[in-house]
Structure 1
Amino acid sequence: MKMSDIAEKSGVSIATVSRVINGDKNVKDSTREKVLKVIEEYNYTPSAIARNLSKKDNNTIGVVVPDISNPYFSEMVEGISEVIDGENLNILIYNTNDRIEKEQKSLQMLLEQRIKGLVITVTSESYENGKSYLDKFVKSRIPVILVDRDIKDSSMDCVFIDNIGGAYKGVSVLIENDHKNIAIITGPLKSKPGRDRFRGYKNALSENGIEVTEGNIYEGDFQVESGYIHGKEILSRKIRPTAVFVSNNQMTLGFFKAMNEMKLSTPEDIAVLSFDRVEILDIFGIKLTTVSASVKELGVRSAEMLLERIRNKDKDISQKMILQTVLDIRGSEKKVR
């Protein structure tokens, strides 16, 4: 049933039905009761989106992430939700699968729905089309918070993880355990986390007098399959590295899939260190050493920053927050062979 049907059965205009639904006090009590009776009789549920289009903005926060199936981003969304729920706001989540065209479509739909604010982990930090979509939010005075990934030359508020320091911290532990032949599976080097974690790896090697060799660098894409493919390549080498630094949780899962197929284990056959926790490995008794930040806190801080920006839209100075990482040493960093 449409709003026009309610109007016809109530004997009033569509505009009057709309005012009743939106709680307009300038409607006669008798008219309101008549409309509400029809709504109850026909179990009519008004579209929240349709109501919002008649307003300048609404009570909805947009959240755009590249891979909601990744526990990293689902935990981040949990942190955002924890803050937003306490503010009587709604959350509308879009998953882009790390594809620019899906991200642009998501942003256009969020613009059309006149959301109150946006938290986004961008697909790319440099493409112009994506940035122009976010510029539309800025021009519409809709606050935007960049989380986890940056955009070049952006002055938007942002919350990031200390990826360089975290990677440096983790690789340094491998070096302290006498590893010198250390491979890395990087994230996509077009992304800030991918580049920064690679930079931390290089810094740790260079500062300890260890050469950064091209043969130990494998560029992944933060997905399970790339960790698996590069894992097979690393583990099949005639002279295998004694350790590997895997740049995120999903690729670490792929790497362990390759290890399982080849009947290898850590640290007996190769030491493994992961950026991000991989809790599921605990089920199989694998004690993995990791470096990570609280991803839930990443979501909490980005949501808090968004609410502050919504309340102070005229504030000129942009905010930038960097969350520190924690090293969890559990044994997979040791050198056995």
Structure 2
Amino acid sequence: MSKKVTIYEVAKKAEVAISTVSRVLNGSENVSKATKIKVDDAIKELNFRPQVNARKLASKQPQMLAIAVPSFTTPFFNEVLKGVKDEIKKMDLDIMLYNTGSKNPEEGVQNFFDRGTADAVILLSIDVSDQVHELIQATQTPAVLVNSAHSSYNYFMLNDYKGGYLAGEHLVKQGFESIGMITSIVESHASTERKRGFKDALKNFKMNIDKDFFQSGDTTKHGGFTEEAGFEAIYKYDKQCKFPEAIFCSNDTQAVGAIYALSKLGLKVPEDIAIMGYDNIKLSKYLDLTTIDQKMYTIGVQATKRLAEIIQKPEDELYQTTINPVLVKRGSTENKQ
């Protein structure tokens, strides 16, 4: 295959600066007729096919938006990405998805910034360590954080504690006397805060907290927020011959696995055991699953809009907000007893 001609070769052939080539490609009037002819001749002779990036060099406007995310396969991340995708259509930006990996996302982010391929970035569920902060500052990359917070950046933080509290409060008010939770085997901010909020709700309503009613699966994939983890946790309840009347799952995906496991054991939802989830993914509606809505799609849209604003006006004051989730009540937590 023949080597792809670059804008640098065009500039060398025409004996002009790269910025001059870019101005010609952008149709700028700030180029003399003679210079334009030289650049056009070089383009034809070299059979140069300009890319969007090349046409934007003169304006120095950001052109590549990157979404750094620990995983592409979880419904939570997919809902946020849908919001980003729909909003990005309105902006003159290309989009690149970068999988940092869920085991060590901060290391993945560092590798991403070392490549220097993006002009703006949304970091999704990735904490900004001192090293990552230094990289962002050194590259002067406009950045918006989703589901993490840092004093130096625009962010949309999710109130996982409030979501966990709403879940516990709902199950208590439904009249269940024994309540449990399927937690994630891998500790994270989201899992810790949801569990803390859930337990605080039970304490505030003077409910007994039985450690046997708090189980997790053994699967570590996606931090334990998977169907497999929910399925495994139900069989741990079965092994100890001790089930609560209602179970709060750390996310809807766990709830899907839990409901399937209960069906395999001959138990019905909610007649035998009530189940609720977290995230309000699309599937939860069709499972009649009570859940907590984090407004994930809306956050994706808002984060992208904010990124567009700071690209245009980097001196703007930081926009930092916490998104409070809401309870979505459905049939899976009706008290049939």
Q: What range is the shorter-chain TM-score in?
A: 0.7 to 0.9
Q: Which runs of 5+ in 2 are unaligned?
A: 218-223
Residue in structure 1 matched with residue 227 of structure 2 by the alignment: 224
1:168 aligned residue (165, 175, 181)? 165
Alignment of 1:193-232 (within 5 A): 193-219=190-216, 221-232=224-235
Measure the CA separation in 1 of the matches of 2:285 and 2:315: 48
Residue in structure 2 matched with residue 297 of structure 1 by the alignment: 298
Measure the CA separation in 2 of the matches of 1:148 and 1:213: 30
SS in 2 for 1:67: coil
SS in 1 for 2:267: coil
- Maintained 8 Å contact 2:14/2:38: no
- Maintained 8 Å contact 1:6/1:38: no
- Maintained 8 Å contact 2:10/2:39: no
Measure the CA separation in 2 of the matches of 1:324 and 1:162: 5
Measure the CA separation in 1 of the matches of 2:16 and 2:110: 29
Letter in 2 for 1:233: K
Instruction: Say how many residue pairs are matched.
Output: 324
2:264 aligned residue (251, 261, 265)? 261
- Maintained 8 Å contact 2:180/2:214: yes
Residue in structure 1 matched with residue 97 of structure 2 by the alignment: 93
1:241–1:173: structure 2 CA closer, same or farther, 3 Å change rule? Answer: same
1:30 aligned residue (25, 37, 56)? 37
1:298–1:96: structure 2 CA closer, same or farther, 3 Å change rule? Answer: same
Asked whether 1:233 is paired with 2:236, we answer yes
- Maintained 8 Å contact 1:289/1:333: yes
Asked whether 1:83 is paired with 2:84, we answer no
Deviations 1:5-31 (A, max 9, x none): 999999936977896467275473433
- Maintained 8 Å contact 2:270/2:332: yes
Letter in 1 for 2:41: K
1:11–1:178: structure 2 CA closer, same or farther, 3 Å change rule? Answer: closer
Measure the CA separation in 2 of the matches of 1:105 and 1:50: 28
Asked whether 1:158 is paired with 2:146, we answer no
TM-score, with structure 1 as normaliser: 0.81
TM-score, with structure 2 as normaliser: 0.81
1:168–1:222: structure 2 CA closer, same or farther, 3 Å change rule? Answer: same
Residue in structure 2 matched with residue 149 of structure 1 by the alignment: 148
Residue in structure 2 matched with residue 135 of structure 1 by the alignment: 134
- Maintained 8 Å contact 2:7/2:50: no
1:184 aligned residue (156, 181, 184)? 181
RMSD value, Cα: 3.4
Deviations 1:158-208 (A, max 9, x none): 102222222222221211122121111224664222122112201210011
Letter in 2 for 1:66: P
Q: CA deviation at 1:81?
A: 2.5
1:293–1:240: structure 2 CA closer, same or farther, 3 Å change rule? Answer: same
Identity among equivalent pairs (%): 23
Residue in structure 2 matched with residue 320 of structure 1 by the alignment: 320
- Maintained 8 Å contact 1:160/1:298: no
SS in 2 for 1:175: helix
Asked whether 1:309 is paired with 2:313, we answer no
Deviations 1:254-286 (A, max 9, x none): 222322332332002210011112433555xx3
